[in-house]
Amino acid sequence: MPRSTAPRSRPGPSKGARATKGSRSSSGRTAKSRRRSRSGRAFRAALLVVLITAGVVVTWPAAEKHLSAFPFLQSVIAGFRPAAPAWPLTGVPADAVADRPALAVKIENSVDARPQTGLGAADVVWEQVVEGGITRFVAVYHSDPPPEIGPVRSIRPMDPAIAAPLGGLLAFSGGVPTYVTAAQDAGLQVLSQDTPAGGFHRTSTRAAPHNVYAVPQTLVDQADAAHRTSPSAQFDHPAAGERPTAVAAGQPTISLELTLSGVSHPRWTWSAADGRWLRSEGSTPAVEADGRRIGATNVVVLRVDVVATEARDPAGNPVPETILTGTGRALVASGGHTVEATWSKPATGDRVTLTRADGAPVTLPPGTTWVELVPNSAGAVATG
What are the chain's domains?
Answer: 31-80 (no CATH), 103-227 (3.50.90.10), 245-383 (3.50.90.10)
Give the whole-number percent of the chain exceeding pLDDT 90: 76
CB atoms within 10 A of CB 107: 25
SS3 of residue 107 by DSSP: strand
Maximum Cα interatomic distance, the chain, rounded to a whole number of Å: 147
Residue 88 amino acid letter: P
- Report residue 315's pLDDT band, with 50, 70 and 90 as the boundaries: confident
In this model, does residue 62 exceed pLDDT 80?
A: no
Length of the chain: 384
Q: How many helices (H) and strands (E) does the chain have?
A: 7, 20
Helices 60-67, 15-53: crossing angle, 10 deg rounding: 140
- Report residue 18's pLDDT band, with 50, 70 and 90 as the boundaries: very low
Distances (CA, A) of 345 to 21, 265, 348: 76, 26, 7
SS3 of residue 212 by DSSP: strand
Q: What is the mean pLDDT of residues 32-41?
A: 54
pLDDT recorded at residue 268: 99
> DSSP of 327-356, one letter per residue?
EEEEEEEETTEEEEEEEEE-STTSPPEEE-
Task: Tell me which of 83-92, 136-145, 357-366 is least confident.
Answer: 83-92
Q: Give phi and psi for 26, each to the nearest 5.
A: -65, -40
* Distance from C-alpha of 380 to C-alpha of 384, rounded to nearest angstrom: 14
pLDDT recorded at residue 314: 83
pLDDT recorded at residue 23: 46
Cross-strand pairs, 213: 201
DSSP one-letter code for 213:
E
pLDDT recorded at residue 21: 44
* Distance from C-alpha of 139 to C-alpha of 268, rounded to nearest angstrom: 18
Of 38, 88, 60, 109, the C-alpha closest to 281 is 109
CB atoms within 10 A of CB 220: 23
pLDDT recorded at residue 17: 43
In this model, does residue 181 exceed pLDDT 90?
A: yes
* Distance from C-alpha of 381 to C-alpha of 361, rounded to nearest angstrom: 22
Which contiguous run of DSSP H or E holds residue 246? helix 245-249
CA–chain centroid gap for 269, Å, is 23
pLDDT recorded at residue 162: 99
In this model, does residue 4 exceed pLDDT 70?
A: no
pLDDT recorded at residue 2: 43
Q: What is the mean pLDDT of residues 45-53?
A: 50
Q: What is the mean pLDDT of residues 180-196?
A: 96
Cross-strand pairs, 200: 214
Task: Tell me which of 36-50, 251-265, 325-339 is least confident.
Answer: 36-50
* Distance from C-alpha of 265 to C-alpha of 257, rounded to nearest angstrom: 7
Between the CA atoms of 363, 109, 141 and 215, what dihedral angle is there, to the nearest 10 degrees?
170
In this model, does residue 160 exceed pLDDT 70?
A: yes
pLDDT recorded at residue 118: 98
In this model, does residue 57 exceed pLDDT 70?
A: no
Query: Do residues 293 and 303 touch, judged by C-beta distance below 8 A?
Result: no
CB atoms within 10 A of CB 352: 21
* Distance from C-alpha of 364 to C-alpha of 375, rounded to nearest angstrom: 23
Q: What is the mean pLDDT of residues 219-225?
A: 98
The whole model's pTM is what? 0.81
Pairing of strands 103-108, 212-214: unpaired
DSSP one-letter code for 26:
H
Q: What is the mean pLDDT of residues 123-140?
A: 98
Of 39, 37, 57, the C-alpha closest to 48 is 57
- Report residue 260's pLDDT band, with 50, 70 and 90 as the boundaries: very high
pLDDT recorded at residue 11: 47
Q: Which residues contact 58 (CB under 8 A, 6 or more apart)?
A: 48, 51, 52
pLDDT recorded at residue 9: 45
